[in-house]
C-alpha cells in the first residue's frame, strides 16, 4: 500500500481540541472527520445543513478526497450525506464542509468533535472524450433504470 502525503490546515485555533481526521482501525479506508461546531448543532428532521470541519487540505494533482457517510449514523439515526460521495478536488483550498441530511424521524444533535463523515483519498483518471456517431452494441443496449435484474 502506498502512502500519499496530504497537507492539512486548521482555519481557526479555537477548534484545536478537535482531532484532525484519522483512521480508526488499521484496515480502515476512510478517515473519520469531525464537526467543528461551538457546542452543538441541532439537525432537524427532514432538513439539510452544511457542517463545518475547520479544515483545509492540499491534495496532490491526480487525486481527490471523497466524502462519504458513516454507516452508524445512517442506520442508527437516519443521517446521510447529500451528493454522496462528495468530492474535494486537488485544486480546492477552502474549508471542507459536510452536507448532512436528516432522513430520520426526530431531530439529531451534533456535538463539538462528533465524527460526522469519512474521507477517502482516491486516484483520479482523466477521461479523453472522443465524439462519434457510432457506438459498439452491448447486451444491455439502451436498457435504463431498473433494467437489469427485473426478471
How many domains is the chain partitioned into structurally? 1
Beta carbons of 56 and 36 less than 8 angstroms apart: no
Residue 2 belongs to a domain:
no
Beta carbons of 86 and 66 less than 8 angstroms apart: yes
Residue 110 belongs to a domain:
yes
**Whole-structure pTM over 0.85, yes or no?**
yes
pLDDT digit string, tens, across residues 114-128: 999 999 999 999 999
Residue 63 belongs to a domain:
yes
SS3 14: helix
Query: Which band of pLDDT confidence, cut at 50, 70 and 90, is reported for residue 144?
Result: confident
Residue 137 belongs to a domain:
no
So what's the pLDDT on residue 51? Answer: 98
pLDDT digit string, tens, across residues 67-104: 999 999 999 999 999 999 999 999 999 999 999 999 99
Residue 130 belongs to a domain:
no
Q: Calculate what percentage of the chain has a pLDDT beyond 70.
A: 96
Residue 139 belongs to a domain:
no
CATH number at residue 45: 2.70.40.10
Residue 141 belongs to a domain:
no
Residue 129 belongs to a domain:
no
- DSSP lists the bridge partners of residue 88 as 65
Instruction: Kindly report which listed range (54-58, 90-94, 146-150) carries the lowest average pLDDT score.
Output: 146-150
Residue 54 has pLDDT above 70, yes or no: yes
**Domain enclosing residue 55, as ranges:** 7-123
115-123 vs 97-102, strand pairing mode: unpaired
Amino acid at each position: 500500500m502506498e502512502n500519499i502525503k496530504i497537507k492539512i490546515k486548521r482555519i481557526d485555533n479555537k477548534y484545536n481540541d478537535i482531532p484532525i481526521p484519522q483512521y480508526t482501525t488499521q484496515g480502515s479506508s476512510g478517515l473519520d472527520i469531525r464537526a467543528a461546531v461551538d457546542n452543538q448543532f441541532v439537525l432537524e428532521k427532514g432538513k439539510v445543513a452544511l457542517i463545518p470541519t475547520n479544515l483545509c487540505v492540499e491534495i496532490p494533482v491526480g487525486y481527490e478526497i471523497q466524502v462519504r457517510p458513516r454507516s452508524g449514523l445512517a442506520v442508527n439515526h437516519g443521517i446521510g450525506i447529500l451528493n454522496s460521495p462528495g468530492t474535494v478536488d486537488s485544486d480546492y483550498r477552502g474549508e471542507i464542509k459536510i452536507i448532512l441530511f436528516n432522513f430520520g424521524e426526530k431531530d439529531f444533535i451534533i456535538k463539538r468533535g462528533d465524527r460526522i463523515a469519512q474521507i477517502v483519498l482516491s486516484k483520479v483518471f482523466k477521461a479523453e472524450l472522443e465524439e462519434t456517431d457510432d457506438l459498439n452494441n452491448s447486451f444491455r443496449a439502451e436498457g435504463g433504470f431498473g433494467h437489469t435484474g427485473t426478471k
